[in-house]
Amino acid sequence: MDTKRDIASRQDITLFINEFYEIVRADQTIGFIFNDVIEMDWEHHIPLIVDFWETILLDNPVYKNNAMSSHFHVNSKVPLTKEHFDAWLNAFSSSIDNNFEGPVCEMAKKRAKSIAAIMHLKMEEATKRQNG
């Protein structure tokens, strides 16, 4: 039987985050943002996003940045819509469900959803301001 364990370490987070970006970069709706629009420094970005999730999921406060702020820059190049957030969330859930299961996984998906909802609102406000 295919029994999966729960996310329990930084190594586990690194595993699903790497898979997340494979899925995201191949995605028809948002792949272009990561491949073409933003010049991603992956060596810098992957450890940062792993820090972000380690802070939330393992209760280890290693992430010191503001996760919201860099998205205003992204949003100024591509106004982020519900379709973008849905694609992001689907990729996030798949990358977790393909590898792990358990309460920490459920928390990760729940937190991602609520942060995405807040981010979506803030981006919409910024787009309105931008368009006068």
Where on the chain is the footprint of ligand HEM (CB under 6 A)? Answer: 30, 33-34, 38, 45, 48-49, 52, 65, 67, 70-71, 73-74, 80, 84-85, 88, 112, 115-116, 119
Measured at the CA of 116, the angle between CA 95 and CA 98, to 5 degrees, comes to 10
Shortest approach of ligand HEM to residue 37 CB, angstroms? Answer: 7
Q: Smallest distance from the beta carbon of 65 to ligand HEM, in angstroms? A: 3
Closest to ligand HEM by CB, 115 vs 126, is 115
What one-character-per-residue DSSP string does the chain give? --------SHHHHHHHHHHHHHHHHT-TTTHHIIIIIS---HHHHHHHHHHHHHHHHS------S-TTHHHHHHHHHS---HHHHHHHHHHHHHHHHTT--SHHHHHHHHHHHHHHHHHHHHHHHHHHHHT-
Shortest separation between residue 111's beta carbon and ligand HEM, angstroms: 7
What is the closest distance, in whole angstroms, from the C-beta atom of residue 98 to ligand HEM in the complex?
A: 18
Residue nearest to ligand HEM (CB): 65
Gap between the Cα atoms of 86 and 106, Å rounded: 17
C-beta of 6 vs 78, nearer to ligand HEM: 78
Question: Between residues 6 and 86, which has the closer beta carbon with respect to ligand HEM?
Answer: 86
- Closer by beta carbon to ligand HEM, 67 or else 99: 67
